[in-house]
Structure 1
Amino acid sequence: MRLSLTQRISVVFSVLLLACCGASAWLQIRASDLHDQEVIQALSHDLASHIAHNSALMGADGPKAGALRTLFGQLMAVNPSVEVYLLDSSGRITGDDAPPGHIRRARVDLQPVQRFLANDPLPILGDDPRSVDASKVFSAAVVPGADGRPAGYIYVVLIGEARDALATRLGQSTVLRTTLGLMAVVASLGLIAGLIAFGLITRPLRRLTESVSRFDASIRSGAAPVPLVPGLPAAHAGTRDEIAILEHTFAQLVERIGLQWHELKRQDQERRELFANISHDLRTPLTSLHGYLETLSLKDDTLEGAERRRYLAIALAQSAKVGRLAQSLFELARLEQENVQLTLETFPLADVVQDVFQKFELAAQARQVRLRADIAPRLPAVCADLGMIERVLTNLLDNAIRHTPAGGEVSVELAGEDDKVGVVVSDTGPGIAPELRANLFRRAFSSGDARRQGGLGLLIVQRMLQLHGSVIELAERDRRGATFSFKLDAATSRAPLRT
């Protein structure tokens, strides 16, 4: 049968309580018996000596057997609890007043007698002549002989056969049953109190177990993790209650798992949107490419050379668009891996900006957009991955030029900020709608609004800067347009990287 922790503890406690009660009762009875034996033996210590030195019992040749038997009968009549025996020098019983057939031993071990005569600590137990293996307290004295040497011993059993029989009968009396009943009541009350105490002690543990079960059920069902029961006590500073600490720790764990669960749901939703938007953006150029190629194939004999070349140029442009999109997807997937390693080197950021400007010079002229660089004097070099930083600036400038109208301006500002170099890329375009700003760096596409699609470019920029321990932000400025900013560590104070 499977029992809970509380039930197992209760069973163990009950067994231990009953065992302790039984052991305590046995020890009390045993201690009481030893105390009674010691008291009786101490009070009757000289009883045998008085008998042995009674001149009326001694003759010229030693003790008078008849007189001794008469005295033994008188003593046992007056005090039925004692039994008197005469022993010779070897311990053999030579005289008694026991009923026929009651003597079970013919000899008494003299070693306890010698200890008694030597006044060793009481109680001292000796052989009971009326039992095969029993031992009882006694009184003993030497019987002097005619030549002055010991002729034997007076051996008095202080708790005799009659008292044992009486004690056996009284053991079934109302007093004993009442005593045992009271002990049972005390044990029962202790058991009930213990079970209640264990129930109170393990109640927080049961509550925690229920919370874990609900949490496991919610995880298995795929729903949001169920928080702990309301009113769960938090672990106070310095507490030594292990269960309270466990509850508090588990509550924090559930909270963190809940946040991670919601974050995973959000990322999964964004991934679904990403795939949907990618499919949409791939479908448009692929459809156009397929259409123009199909036209070239079907009307090859009727198309003029100029028209054929125009169709081919459009098809090539759409093919290049698909290629760029595929390359961006591949690059984003590579950056999402956890084992991306940076190739760090020291270089002046101003040179990288000039190289990127030269790359976009013709495109800017074609769109009638002016490029401007504002570089602070004595700008420190940076320590970063040159290829990634160049790609960051390329994506930001490409995005800014495409969304800046003719006659506008795209600028890059570099300035030293403590132990960092700040980079600001801005344009004079229409800016980014407020409803798109919250998810600008989360959604790869926003197919419903062609004005400022973050695209894979901004996702790639964000991930590259995260690998450098930096964050890209959409800065707020009074003028029109979009402004992006981030910071890189100067070469003299390189911070630890997250790779």
Structure 2
Amino acid sequence: MWRPKLCFYQRLSVSLVLGFLVILSVFVLASSRLQDSMKDESEQMLHLDLASHLVSDNPLLKTGVYDYDALGNLFHTLMILGPNFEFYFLDTQGNIKTYSAKKGEVIKKSIDLAPILSLLEPNPTLPVRGDDPKSENKHKIFSAAPVYNGELLQGYLYVIIGGARYDSIVENLKRSEGVQTFAMIIVAATLFLLFALLLLFRFFTAPLKILSDDMDTFRASGFDLDGSGVKLRPWRNESRNEVQRLGFSFNDMLNHIDEQMKKLKQTDNERRILLADLSHDLRTPLANLQGYIETLSLKGSSINEDERQRFMDICEKNLFNLKRLIDQIFELAYLEGGHVTLKKESFMLAELLHDVAAKFTMNAQNKGITLNVNAAAQNGYVHADIGKLERVLTNLIENAIRHTPENGHIDINVVEADKYLTIEVKDSGVGISERELNHIFKARYQASNSKEDSAIHAGLGLAICQKLMALLDSKLEVSSELGKGTSFRFSLTQITP
């Protein structure tokens, strides 16, 4: 992946310098042109009537031009008195008839009359620039006036304002020591301003560089906060500085990612342990099945009918345990993967409790256990998934029967409180120690005082129940005391049928 060679501050600095130089160049150019335009406008306005005064005051021009040599001498004399001006006499076609310059300096033979006619109009827009006879493409401000012989237009007096000598003097002044010193001061001030701006940019971008370096370090460490060496800096969320708020958000993100990574590692470790334990649990019924089926296959007819039936019963029991274990594994996998859909409907809670309890009445009686349903809210309705709720109740009652000794009792209670119905499955069994209560909802965890029976228990039931209750927007809670029994509770929102 291509990455820029310059850091953000360097790119910002280069952009600033280039932008500053471009703006400065445009400003200097525009300022120079504006200054020249204002100077030309003011000078042309000041000398606008110069040509007309010369025409009206000079006898050679006032009565018409007949002697071009005499007029040339006059122009030369005028130029000596006013070296800022150059004088030209043009005929009606714009051809130059005589002038004040030295021979060889004038390279043009004619002048475009359009600017002259524009200047002679009432209220002309200044500055108006005309052709410079000493240059092929230069244009200069001028003063002009028509020259008449009676009523006949004989030509035009064309006076260049700021002639070649004036331009030469201006150029020399620009190269003078004072002007150069002033230019150096301007350049030094500009460079100082640029340097100050670069330092200011450095100050503003320093926190962003620190934040970027921390991000790179954190990413290079594999998003491990403890192993990255990233120090959580005291960024301020309430600051008006966007970088401070960004840094504060980055700290939150670091903590959140670190917490998620730890949870993922813990979950991965638990999955490995769970997979190893489940593999062992699956291997036991499979080994039993294999052994008895091989025995039936090898001995064949030598086995009597009673023994054959006993072998078949054992195989059937192992198949039942195997299927139950696989079903629980798949159910837990679907719940953790978020692939379970709910089919909610409204129903009377008491009826479901009595139906589920009825399935375990015979089993409870065989163990000498009393199973009671105490529903204070007989007509209470809830909106939930009946199948998922029945699955939870079935697991809780099965566990209660398994851990309750003979002559014990199991109570299924429903308590109405505000808009909720709280369901409790309470037994008088062996109970669970306080230090183990926080672990019983973990997959494969079995309390140290669990009762063993002929069935295989993978320790997934309560983990499945907890996830099912989360899908039903509730939470399965437990309280217990060793030797006195255990109570599981959850609450559902009561609705009006």
SS in 2 for 1:98: coil
2:110 maps to a residue whose letter is R
Cα drift, residue 474 of structure 1: 0.4
1:462 equivalent in structure 2: 466
Residues 297 and 450 (structure 1), Cα distance of their counterparts in 2 relative to 1, 3 Å cut: farther
Counterpart selection for 1:233 from 232, 235, 240: 235
Cα drift, residue 59 of structure 1: 8.5
- 8 Å Cα contact 1:422/1:488 also seen in 2: yes
Matches for 1:421-432 after TM superposition, within 5 Å? 421-432=421-432
Distance of 1:485 and 1:108 partners within structure 2:
110
2:217 equivalent in structure 1: 214
Counterpart selection for 1:480 from 474, 480, 484: 484
Greater shift after overlay, 360-369 or 297-306? Answer: 297-306
Counterpart selection for 1:156 from 156, 159, 162: 159
- 8 Å Cα contact 1:58/1:64 also seen in 2: no
1:401 equivalent in structure 2: 401
Greater shift after overlay, 466-475 or 30-39? Answer: 30-39
Greater shift after overlay, 200-209 or 20-29? Answer: 200-209
Cα drift, residue 473 of structure 1: 0.5
Could you tell me which runs of 5 or more consecutive residues in structure 2 were left unpaired when the two chains were aligned. Answer: none
SS in 2 for 1:360: helix
SS in 2 for 1:126: strand
- 8 Å Cα contact 2:225/2:258 also seen in 1: no
Whether 2:23 is the aligned partner of 1:20: answer: yes
Counterpart selection for 2:103 from 64, 89, 100: 100
Residues 492 and 478 (structure 1), Cα distance of their counterparts in 2 relative to 1, 3 Å cut: farther
Cα drift, residue 423 of structure 1: 0.9
Distance of 1:200 and 1:474 partners within structure 2:
58
Distance of 1:454 and 1:415 partners within structure 2:
32
TM-score (norm 2): 0.85
Greater shift after overlay, 51-60 or 380-389? Answer: 51-60
Residues 257 and 157 (structure 1), Cα distance of their counterparts in 2 relative to 1, 3 Å cut: same
Whether 2:38 is the aligned partner of 1:35: answer: yes
SS in 2 for 1:219: coil
Whether 2:76 is the aligned partner of 1:73: answer: yes
Distance of 1:488 and 1:58 partners within structure 2:
117
Residues 347 and 148 (structure 1), Cα distance of their counterparts in 2 relative to 1, 3 Å cut: closer
Cα drift, residue 399 of structure 1: 0.7
- 8 Å Cα contact 1:379/1:416 also seen in 2: no
Residues 133 and 295 (structure 1), Cα distance of their counterparts in 2 relative to 1, 3 Å cut: closer
1:496 equivalent in structure 2: none
2:350 equivalent in structure 1: 350
Greater shift after overlay, 449-458 or 169-178? Answer: 449-458
1:233 maps to a residue whose letter is W
Cα drift, residue 441 of structure 1: 0.9
Whether 2:247 is the aligned partner of 1:271: answer: no
Greater shift after overlay, 401-410 or 118-127? Answer: 118-127
Report Cα offsets for 1:347-383 as digits up to 9, x if no partner: 3333333333333233323332222222215431333
Cα drift, residue 47 of structure 1: 2.9
Cα drift, residue 424 of structure 1: 0.5
Matches for 1:44-63 after TM superposition, within 5 Å? 44-57=47-60, 62=65
- 8 Å Cα contact 1:409/1:428 also seen in 2: yes
Distance of 1:144 and 1:295 partners within structure 2:
144
1:134 equivalent in structure 2: 138
Aligned-pair Cα RMSD in Å? 3.5
Distance of 1:316 and 1:143 partners within structure 2:
134
Cα drift, residue 36 of structure 1: 2.5
Whether 2:386 is the aligned partner of 1:386: answer: yes
- 8 Å Cα contact 1:233/1:244 also seen in 2: yes
Identical-pair percentage: 34
Residues 376 and 127 (structure 1), Cα distance of their counterparts in 2 relative to 1, 3 Å cut: same
Residues 492 and 148 (structure 1), Cα distance of their counterparts in 2 relative to 1, 3 Å cut: same
2:140 maps to a residue whose letter is K
1:420 equivalent in structure 2: 420
Distance of 1:309 and 1:154 partners within structure 2:
140
Matches for 1:367-378 after TM superposition, within 5 Å? 367-378=367-378
1:391 maps to a residue whose letter is R
- 8 Å Cα contact 2:396/2:425 also seen in 1: yes
2:496 equivalent in structure 1: 492
Whether 2:359 is the aligned partner of 1:359: answer: yes
Greater shift after overlay, 311-320 or 290-299? Answer: 290-299
Cα drift, residue 109 of structure 1: 2.4
2:174 maps to a residue whose letter is G
Counterpart selection for 1:124 from 112, 125, 128: 128
Residues 151 and 379 (structure 1), Cα distance of their counterparts in 2 relative to 1, 3 Å cut: same
2:339 equivalent in structure 1: 339
Distance of 1:4 and 1:11 partners within structure 2:
11
1:170 equivalent in structure 2: 173
1:35 maps to a residue whose letter is M
Aligned length: 489
SS in 1 for 2:107: coil
1:497 equivalent in structure 2: none
SS in 2 for 1:361: helix
SS in 2 for 1:438: helix
Report Cα offsets for 1:154-203 as digits up to 9, x if no partner: 22212111122223333333233323323322332232233233333333
Greater shift after overlay, 37-46 or 225-234? Answer: 225-234
Residues 317 and 40 (structure 1), Cα distance of their counterparts in 2 relative to 1, 3 Å cut: closer
- 8 Å Cα contact 1:342/1:385 also seen in 2: yes
Residues 304 and 97 (structure 1), Cα distance of their counterparts in 2 relative to 1, 3 Å cut: closer
Cα drift, residue 428 of structure 1: 1.3
Residues 205 and 60 (structure 1), Cα distance of their counterparts in 2 relative to 1, 3 Å cut: closer
2:329 equivalent in structure 1: 329
Greater shift after overlay, 477-486 or 456-465? Answer: 477-486
- 8 Å Cα contact 1:93/1:108 also seen in 2: yes
Distance of 2:34 and 2:347 partners within structure 1:
94
Report Cα offsets for 1:119-172 as digits up to 9, x if no partner: 523322222222222111222233332x34333332221211112222333333
SS in 2 for 1:445: coil
Residues 324 and 44 (structure 1), Cα distance of their counterparts in 2 relative to 1, 3 Å cut: closer
Distance of 1:285 and 1:204 partners within structure 2:
63
